[in-house]
């Protein structure tokens, strides 16, 4: 009984061992290569449980996720023959695990990283060759990073690598040229500022001239309208006077004389010298 029990345990252990040696699991963050006698047999594995032939097959797994190449500062020569230290990082992934395995000695990630760094460094030199320090520091920086990503991808793709992005973190100038570069950049900024200020003053003069012209036109229109209204008022007053005069000429003459007396003698100290038979005193001497 004991022997049977022991043989059963041994058989179960052997069965479990065979099952263990015959299966492998690929997670969602991995991609795998099935090797038979060190030759690639299959690479198209999806995440999950898979079978293999024990002792004949072996499995090598690689990252499916995006990897990072974080470089140390590299000295690059610009178009002005000035050295700058460039610090960058690159995001990459294995897009063809078969090509990657063959190209880098059974998929050595360190060798792949070194190859990628060499390609990026060479492309950095190409991008910096035709540009000034100011252009690589500020003006063309986005264009340089875009070109780096595209051109590096073209050269490294054959190794089963896809470059997702290349970003320049820092560009440092040599201390010997740092001061002169800053002074040159300040002068250029001043020229730009002077240009903007001149444009602003020109626009200000144009706006002020237009406003003065508009003001003169508004005042002229206002005077014209005022004269028109005044003329209409005078005409209306004259018409009223004429109508009143025609209704009773004698009374109107008397009323106008009273107004003349009132306007002439506004104070007790007012004195007027006229002949007694003057038309002005017509109604003083009249009993009517």
| pLDDT at 267 exceeding the cut of 60 | yes
User: Please, which pLDDT band fits residue 190 given cuts at 50, 70 and 90?
Assistant: confident
pTM score > 0.75 for this model? no
Q: What is the per-residue pLDDT across 203-226, written as a single tens digit (0 to 9) for each?
A: 999 999 899 899 999 998 999 899
Q: What is the per-residue pLDDT across 42-91, written as a single tens digit (0 to 9) for each?
A: 999 999 999 888 888 889 999 999 999 998 888 888 877 778 889 999 99
- For the beta carbon of residue 216, count every other beta carbon within 10 angstroms: 10
User: Please, which pLDDT band fits residue 275 given cuts at 50, 70 and 90?
Assistant: low
Spell out the domain ranges in the chain: 2-63, 67-173, 190-247, 249-288
pLDDT in the model for residue 27: 92
Q: What is the per-residue pLDDT across 109-138, written as a single tens digit (0 to 9) for each?
A: 999 999 999 999 999 999 888 888 778 877
- For the beta carbon of residue 116, count every other beta carbon within 10 angstroms: 22
CATH topology of domain 67-173: Tetrahydropterin Synthase; Chain A (3.30.479)
Q: What is the per-residue pLDDT across 164-189, written as a single tens digit (0 to 9) for each?
A: 999 998 888 766 666 666 777 788 88
């Amino acid at each position: 009984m004991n022997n049977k029990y022991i043989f059963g345990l041994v058989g179960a252990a052997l069965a479990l061992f065979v099952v263990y040696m015959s299966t492998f699991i690929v997670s969602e963050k991995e991609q795998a290569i099935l090797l038979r006698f060190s030759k690639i047999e299959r690479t198209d594995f999806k995440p999950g449980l898979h079978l293999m032939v024990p002792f004949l097959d072996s499995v090598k797994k690689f990252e499916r996720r995006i990897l990072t190449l974080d470089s140390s500062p590299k000295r690059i020569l610009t178009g002005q023959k000035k050295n700058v230290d460039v610090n960058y990082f690159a995001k990459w992934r294995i897009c063809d695990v078969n090509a990657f395995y063959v190209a880098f000695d059974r998929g050595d990630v360190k060798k792949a990283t070194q190859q990628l760094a060499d390609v990026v460094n060479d492309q950095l030199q190409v991008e910096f060759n035709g540009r000034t320090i100011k252009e690589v520091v500020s003006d063309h920086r986005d264009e340089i990073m875009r070109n780096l990503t595209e051109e590096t991808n073209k050269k490294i793709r054959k190794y089963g690598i896809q470059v997702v992005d290349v970003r320049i973190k820092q560009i440092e100038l040599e201390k010997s040229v740092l001061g002169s570069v800053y002074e040159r950049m300040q002068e250029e900024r001043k020229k730009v500022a002077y240009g903007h200020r001149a444009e602003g003053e020109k626009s200000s003069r144009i706006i002020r001239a237009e406003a003065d012209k508009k003001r003169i036109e508004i005042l002229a229109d206002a005077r014209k309208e005022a004269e028109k209204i005044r003329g209409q008022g005078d005409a209306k007053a004259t018409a009223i006077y004429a109508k009143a005069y025609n209704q009773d000429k004698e009374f109107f003459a008397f009323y106008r004389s009273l107004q003349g007396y009132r306007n002439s003698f506004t104070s007790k100290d007012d004195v007027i010298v006229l002949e007694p038979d003057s038309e002005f005193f017509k109604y003083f001497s009249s009993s009517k």
